[in-house]
Amino acid sequence: MSYFEYLAVMVHPYMKEEGVLLNFSGYQDILRRYSQLKEHDVQEAWELAKELNAWSEYFSSVANLVQRMYLDAEADKLAITSLASVEADAKKVANGDRLANQDERVIAARKRRNVLKAFYDELEAKVRFLERAHYHCKVTYEFNKRQGNNKDDVE
C-alpha cells in the first residue's frame, strides 16, 4: 500500500461524515499507461493528456474540500484544547495546558487534523504531478503532429 492509499484509508471516515465517497479507481491504470507512453504514440499521448487533465481536476476538487475540512479541524482542535485546559486546571493556565495535552479529546482532534493535513499535502503533490504529466503528453502530441506523424490521427 502506498502512502497515498494509506492516507485515503485513514481519511475515509472523515470524508464519509461529509457525505463524500472518494473514488480513485482507474488512477493506477492511468499512471501505468503514462509510464509506458512511447514518444511517437500520438493517439495515446492525446488520450492521456485529456485523462490526466480530468484526474488533475478531480484531485484538485478533493484537495479543496480536504483543505476546508483541515482548517475546520484546526479550529475544533483549538476549541477542544481550550475546554480541556480549563477543565484540567482553571487557575493555572500552564498546568491546564499541559494536562489538556493528555486529554483523549485533544489527542483525537490532533490526529484528525494531522491526517487531513497529510492527505491535503499528498493531493496537492498529485495535482502538481498530473499537471506536469498532462503537459508532457500535450507536448509529445504537438511535437509529433508538427513532425508529420499523423498515422494515428486524432478525431
Rounded mean pLDDT of 30-52? 95
Tens-digit pLDDT profile for residues 99-148:
777 788 888 999 999 999 999 999 999 999 999 999 999 999 999 888 87
What pLDDT, on a 0 to 100 scale, did the predictor assign at position 1?
86
Q: Identify the pLDDT of residue 65.
A: 97
pLDDT band at 78 (very low <50, low <70, confident <90, very high): confident
Q: Which H or E run includes 22? A: none
pLDDT recorded at residue 96 = 65
Examine the pLDDT at 42 and tell me if it is beyond 80.
yes
Quick one: pLDDT at residue 73?
Answer: 95
Please give the pLDDT value at position 101: 73
- For 39, the enclosing helix (H) or strand (E) is none
Give the total residue count for the chain: 155
Q: Which of 120, 121, 122, 133 lies closest to 30 in space, CA to CA?
A: 133
